[in-house]
Amino acid sequence: MRRGSRAGLVLAALAILLGLVGSVGSTPAPASADTIRDREYWLDDYGIRAAWAATRGAGVTIAVIDTGVDATHPDLREAVVGGADFSGAGAPNGERPVGSDSEHGTLVASLAAGRGSGEGGGVLGAAPAASILSISVGFGSDAVDSDDQIASAVRWAVDHGAEVINMSLTRNTPDWPASWDSAFLYAFDHDVVVVAAAGNRASGTAEVGAPATMPGVLTVAGVTRSGQASEEASSQGITIGVAAPSEELVGDLPGDRYASWSGTSGAAPIVSGIVALVRAAHPDLDADDVIERVVATARDAGPPGPDVTYGHGLVDARAAVTAAVPHVTANPMGDLRDWIRLHRRAPATAPPLLTTPSTPAPAPVATPAPEAGRSVLDGLYPTWAQARELVLPVFVVVVFAAGFLLVLLLGARRVLGARKNR
């Protein structure tokens, strides 16, 4: 079994503070459910709560490819509807968190589709009526090859009804293995929207890495509570589609706990939830049009037009769900199939052996046998017809030229004789 991968996968969470604490270093203290809900500033600031007037995402399934989701958490108990493990270390249903950052998948899932708990308590995700598929993958040298895990996880998610796939992880390199080509094409060909985190500078991701660099993927950058580009909890790159909050976040932890945290790992599931809202409100739209609604309605930030920091701007859930957006015929985030055609070269093949030509050899032309009474040497001499057509014209030219020369010689002789007589 192959272990690890050349680039390795990194989770796109920057910091997780256990419990809800006032500052780093203070003693974690239990927080009331009201305090948790009150900290979800993005629900109002990014039009999410307003979009709920139209839909809360019911009927849409979001696959969270991560460390696994604790489906026993009160906020997620009714949200997780299935899953699988590709790490070799988790539960068959993907609901046992794995790895050293095992809480990561539960945090991510809560921001996408947390149900809350009780009356006004717990974490509400951007699409609180959407369903979650918990797909656990492992990271680090002790894991099954992480690239292979991702390729298999993407295909499994598609085959089990995911309409949105959230990937809050990065390879920290812009390139990706060829196995991802076919897996992500499989998702795109089955009308699935793939959302990926841009990564965090503080974690070593200065520029976006795969899967956020892949054409067709909706890449999410991170901003502060005031909507400014995050210095630490974001990255930059030309493939960024939109930006969402990545600082001062709150989410679920395994074991009925909560945490303050930051990173584009949180920005991505907020956008995945918004994508689910769009899909629920517009079930007739394909993935390309769904992504177009998200990017076309984003509030421009930074320099006018798309840029490497905010992409098309700050995501706006209400506008994405309700605005009039023209139909598109292609994914606004690019075409992976075109990229493969341009950048992947076919594997070299050995030249064919001479005894087995790649194209059929021409059939030999039969040579007619000599007629009776003729020698095989007869073909070396011209026939009378050939002589008439070729030899006679040449003979006439030669005779004429000889006569002309004879006349010239006789004329010259007479001239010389006349001079002597003088």
Is the CB of residue 181 less than 8 Å from the CB of residue 111? no
| Region for 205 from its dihedrals, namely left if φ exceeds 0, alpha if ψ lies in -120 to 50, beta otherwise | beta
Instruction: Please measure the distance between the N-terminal and C-terminal CA atoms of the chain and give it in whole angstroms.
Output: 120
d(CA 18, CA 204): 23
Query: Cα-flanking dihedrals φ and ψ of residue 169, to 5°?
Result: -155, 165
Cβ-Cβ contacts under 8 Å for 358 (sequence gap 6 or more): 352
d(CA 137, CA 141): 13
Active site residues per annotation: 66, 104, 265
Nearest to 285 by CA among 339, 338, 324, 244: 324
Cβ-Cβ contacts under 8 Å for 370 (sequence gap 6 or more): 376, 378
User: Between 264-281 and 287-296, two packed helices, what is the crossing angle to 10 degrees?
Assistant: 120
- CA-based torsion, 171, 336, 272, 246: positive or negative: positive
Is the CB of residue 246 less than 8 Å from the CB of residue 222? yes
Strands 257-262, 15-18: pairing is antiparallel
Q: Which amino acid is at 415?
A: V
Integer CA distances (angstroms), 257 to 110, 343, 399, in order = 12, 46, 119
Helix, strand or coil, per DSSP, at residue 281: helix
- Tallying the residues shown for the chain, one arrives at 422
Strands 121-124, 115-117: pairing is antiparallel
Integer CA distances (angstroms), 411 to 60, 144, 311, 400, 414, in order = 114, 108, 101, 17, 5
Integer CA distances (angstroms), 195 to 219, 224, 239, in order = 6, 20, 12
